[in-house]
Amino acid sequence: MAYRRKDSAVYWVSFADASGTRVRRSTETTARKEAEALEAKWKLEAHQQKQWGAPPSFTFDELMLKYLQATETEKRSAERDRMSAKHLYPAFTGRNLREISAANVRKYIDDRKAKGAKPATINKEVGLLSAAINYARMEWDWEIPNPAAGRRLREPEGRLRWLTRAEAGALIRAAEAQRRAPHLPDFIRLALNTGCRRGELLGLEWRRVDLQRGLLYLEGDHTKSGRRRYVPLNQAARGALLSRMRFRAKYCPASPWVFAARSGKRIQSVKTAFASACEAAGIEDFRIHDLRHTCAAWLVSAGVPLPEVRDLLGHSTVTMTERYAHLAPENVRAAVQRLDGLHESGHGEVIHNSESRFGHGDDSAEKRKEVAAM
């Protein structure tokens, strides 16, 4: 019979497993009927395993609840996972994991497409199901198939929005005009000149700022990739930090946060103030994360090699940085022009003459003449 413990709000049950061992198990629910239904299910499974060696069965609900709890502190995408799970529940709730087929997953994808969900969104949702199943197989030894594996949709090329220098100047001036957000101009300057993410800047502490060496120190728990990164400071970034330092000395000298309010508390969001500044500057379709795109675009346009831009932004691979490659067409032009040098040095004739090997008889001599004339 389901019961409640003094230290728990949910119901627990006690039953003998397939080996005869007494098991006390949480139902993870505060509803008695649901708890009793789970108890009956687990007892039946134990009986089937004992009598016929049947493998234990698990439901989608059990999987998702246990997985989200297990990874809540491990994954930076925990909030995104919870959102994805809400979309998965109506389609798979109550289903035995062994009964969920590839056809069921394909139907889910088709239904989400019909509702207007983008491929990237669907990939996150189906990816969550696949990741949860793989986790259960690896960590909990659940013998279950993975019908969601390899169901990734082709995604369109990622959005790339960036500002010109003139637009950036207008945005900063608009931010300076906002009295309620004195931190916003410095935030924008620092983002434009370091390429740091919003969370990396709003979570920045003074102990990780080294003005003498001109570096910001980002440890693994501060970055999206989970890897340590050191960010160099140019004069514009240094100026923004000095401005923050003067604000701190005047209003909150004990605050550990670079972006702090007058009370010393960490500023949690700049979204509203940023949107107002964009509107005042006449800048449309521009998000906070696009400041990072702008930094990358300026660097690539200035001829900075992609691997160096990758290291500054903290991309895990140069593939993520390659989206900016089209901003430096002169690099490709220079590469093509090197072919002219090969022809002028005589290497081109070697290439031409090699074609004569495919000729036969007198035709080969004629072909050599034709090629030489090209």
235-246 pLDDT tens trace: 999 999 999 999
Among the residue ranges 86-95, 286-295, 332-341, the one predicted with the least confidence is: 332-341
Nearest Cα to 90, choosing from 113, 72, 108? 108
Among the residue ranges 145-159, 161-175, 274-288, the one predicted with the least confidence is: 145-159
Every domain of the chain and the residues it spans: 3-43, 60-139, 165-327, 332-369
Strand 22-26 and strand 209-210: the pairing is: unpaired
And the tokens for 180?
């309620």
Q: How many CB atoms lie within 10 A of CB 328?
A: 19
Q: 291 pLDDT exceeds 80? A: yes
**Cα–Cα dist 76/277, whole Å:** 29
Given this chain, do its domains 60-139 and 165-327 carry the same CATH topology? Answer: no
Residue 154 DSSP code: P
Look-up of token digits 């505060």: 30
Rounded to two decimals, the pTM is 0.60
Nearest Cα to 84, choosing from 107, 108, 100? 108
Strand 209-210 and strand 215-218: the pairing is: antiparallel
Give 88's pLDDT tier (boundaries 50, 70, 90): very high
Residue 328 or 109, more confident: 109
Give 73's pLDDT tier (boundaries 50, 70, 90): confident
Residue 59 DSSP code: B
Q: Please provide the distance, in angstroms rounded to a whole number, between the alpha carbons at the two ends of the chain.
A: 92
CATH 1.10.540 fits 60-139, yes or no: no
Give 359's pLDDT tier (boundaries 50, 70, 90): very low
- The CATH architecture one would assign to domain 165-327 is Orthogonal Bundle (1.10)
The pLDDT tens digits of the residues spanning 1-16 come to 788 888 888 888 887 8
